[in-house]
Amino acid sequence: MAIWTAAATAACIAFILIIILFVRQINEICRRLAFIRTHKTNMRLNSDMPFRSVGRLIDEMNAFLEETAKERMRIERESRGLKDSLTGISHDIRTPLTSLSGYFQLLTETEDAEERERYGSIIKARIGSLEAMLEELFTYTKLQNSDYKVEMSSINFTQCTIDTMLAFYGQFAEKGIRPAVDIEETPAYIYGNEEAVRRILQNIVKNALVHGADEVSLSLHGDGDNVVLRCSNRCESPEEIDMEGVFRKFYKADSARKDTSTGLGLTIASELAGRLGGSLRAELEGDVFSILLRFRRQ
């Protein structure tokens, strides 16, 4: 009887000690969780108790803390990106608006018919530039939505390319540039979205128009199962080009900062190409900058 009493007493003492250890462990977990919640820290939980169930609980809580930390970092990155975007948008829109205000004031102050017509033409051009910028910003915003989808169908990629070059013919002529165009005779068909493909081509060609010094070339040829478009232009200041940042949002080479552009053209082209299963990359050889657009033939 005494043995059973002693055993029962020992068991009670052991149980009480375990309860005390559990309470101490819970208090320690609460303390650490409170610290982690109020501080940016990589601190994680640990356990001194030799119980597998407690170890599993600690592992699950640490996994949750890791996921929470990653999510917090993602939100912080997006917040910084949003601030940078708003700063870039504010600057890009303010420039043409300031110009519009100045020319509008000149228009209202002059009585000369010829001057009024000239100022009116400039204001119209500035409004057109502003509309194009807002359209780029709107497109970029849509592309940031992971749920944004494009309808796919068979597209004559060759015809889209020809149409785009013809649309820019007048602007190239104004700059005294005669683009060298080399397009294979056999039409290349791809599976994509025609509106998106034309937007990609427009942004690529416009980039060459804006940055091209005096030589611009465009070629379209097959490469095995793929079709590759190469648009090249000679640069006056190739050392100013950040090849790693070419497709980064709001990127502008120094020599083009005077241009009324959002710096989103190639960013949009790259993201649209990716949505359509294609790819976009840049090359710089000497003073020749090239954009290569690749799609799989249908």
**Model confidence pLDDT, tens digit, residues 178-191:** 899 999 989 999 99
Per-residue pLDDT tens digits for 103-122? 888 888 888 888 888 888 88
Lowest model confidence (mean pLDDT) among 3-7, 83-87, 212-216, 239-243: 83-87
pLDDT of 163 higher than 90: yes
Q: Kindly state whether residue 205 falls inside one of the protein's structural domains.
A: yes
Give the CATH number, domain containing residue 234.
Answer: 3.30.565.10
CA–CA dist 18, 10 (Å, integer): 12
- Does the pLDDT value for residue 253 go beyond 60? no
Residues β-bridged to residue 229: 220, 293
**Residues paired with 234 in a beta bridge:** 288
- Among 84-98, 141-155, 252-266, 268-282, the least confident range: 252-266
- Tell me whether residue 135 is in a domain: no
| pLDDT (0 to 100) of residue 257 | 44
pLDDT score of 33 more than 80: yes
d(CA 64, CA 203): 43
Domain hosting 270: range is 153-296
Co-location of 170 and 263 in the same domain: yes
pLDDT score of 294:
95
CA distances from 160 to 65, 164, 171, 265, 292 (A): 51, 6, 18, 18, 16
- In angstroms, the CA 240 to CA 289 distance is 12
Higher pLDDT, 86 or 202: 202
- Single out the residue in 40, 55, 73 at which a domain terminates: 73
Q: Does 256 map to a domain?
A: yes
- Where is the domain boundary, 43, 73, 103? 73
**207 or 11, greater pLDDT:** 207
**In-domain check, residue 116:** no
Name the more confident of 181 and 256. Answer: 181
pLDDT of res. 162: 94
> Percent of the chain having pLDDT more than 70?
88
Q: How many structural domains comprise the chain? A: 2
Whether 166 and 270 share a structural domain: yes
* pLDDT over 80 (residue 174): yes
